[in-house]
Amino acid sequence: GAVVSQHPSWVICKSGTSVKIECRSLDFQATTMFWYRQFPKQSLMLMATSNEGSKATYEQGVEKDKFLINHASLTLSTLTVTSAHPEDSSFYICSARLAGGSDTQYFGPGTRLTVL
Amino acid sequence: KNEVEQSPQNLTAQEGEFITINCSYSVGISALHWLQQHPGGGIVSLFMLSSGKKKHGRLIATINIQEKHSSLHITASHPRDSAVYICAVRPNRGSNYKLTFGKGTLLTVNP
């Protein structure tokens, strides 16, 4: 089946540093990738929708200057958490939608970010 | 009121039992997803439905579009089925393929 990978799977950083998380569709092309954040015992919260070759669309309340999204190819999207603070500690998950108007989405394994 | 409601929120079963998790939604949809998340882990897509019924191994998912309801069944449950099961829908109006998620059902299967 289709696979979406995320790298790194976990990261610990100091407050004030920036962290980049990669989301790759390994065996299919993804027109759209979604970035989610999940706090403990809560459901996924959509942060932004990333379309290849265009600017990401951010959900209300999500700072676009803090969470930089780049979707440079049909198989790779990156999320950079800039000047990370402890409150940014969370589980970040991406999903990739199959190109061609499909509703099929595949989820990545997630990245655990801990900001000290 | 959440657009997607799951029940029960928590479910404890003995190994071998038949399990049903329900999902009701209030909007017209293009697709409904059932997802599985193990503790501390990523999300696995189990099913995507737009009508009828799908089966994969011991898992069965059904959807009734008219009643805006879906069920996920697990036959012969096993402790490794313990996870959070999440229902998510793609509204068919203006959603740009975004999903709306239920809060999840925590399933614990005891040996």
pLDDT at A1: 61
Assess B35–A contact: CB distance below 8 Å, yes or no: yes
pLDDT at B95: 63
pLDDT at A113: 96
Q: A57: nearest CA in chain B?
A: B96
- Sort out which chain B residues have CB atoms less than 8 A from A34's CB and list them: 98-99
Tens-of-pLDDT digits for all 111 residues of chain B? Answer: 568 999 999 999 999 999 999 999 998 998 999 999 988 778 888 999 999 999 999 999 999 999 999 999 999 999 999 999 999 999 887 667 888 899 999 999 999
pLDDT digits (tens, 9 = 90+) for A17-74: 999 999 999 988 888 999 999 988 888 899 999 988 888 999 999 999 999 999 888 8
- Sort out which chain A residues have CB atoms less than 8 A from B43's CB and list them: 44, 93, 95, 107-110
Find the mean pLDDT for residues A71-100: 92
User: Cβ of B35 and A46 within 8 Å?
Assistant: no
Distance (Å, rounded) from C-alpha B88 to C-alpha A106? 13
- Sort out which chain A residues have CB atoms less than 8 A from B45's CB and list them: 105-107
Cβ density class A11-27: b for 16+ within 10 Å, e for less:
bebeeeeebebbbbbee
